[in-house]
């Protein structure tokens, strides 16, 4: 059995494009099997609350500065943030 590399589940701020660490550490395989539900996260980039799901998240690989994408993302299921952001803590 090989070694599993874990990293921080990360999403992008739809306003600034900056990275937002969700506070969840996992590996890409586990991320791909998470339920596809919207989760709120406070954005340190713009100060707003945004909603993310596994479809627009990736696992940041701190060992080489790269990104380990989840299987759902690699399958082209990534959705636009435009319908998933919250302004002033209200869903759009």
**If you average pLDDT over every residue of the chain, what do you get?**
74
Give pLDDT tens digits for 23-46.
999 999 999 998 999 999 999 999
- Terminal C-alpha separation, the chain: 44
Mean of pLDDT values over 56-79: 58
Q: So where are the chain's domains? A: 7-83
SS3 content of the chain, % helix, strand, coil (to 5): 15, 40, 45
């Amino acid at each position: 059995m090989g070694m599993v590399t874990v990293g921080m589940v990360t999403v992008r701020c739809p306003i600034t494009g900056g990275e937002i660490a969700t506070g969840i550490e996992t590996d890409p395989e586990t991320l791909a099997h998470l339920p596809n539900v919207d989760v709120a996260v406070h954005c340190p980039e713009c100060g707003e609350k945004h909603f993310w799901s596994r479809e627009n998240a990736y696992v940041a690989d701190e060992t080489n500065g790269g990104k380990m994408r989840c299987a759902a993302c690699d399958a082209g299921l990534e959705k636009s943030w435009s319908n998933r952001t919250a302004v002033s803590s209200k869903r759009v």
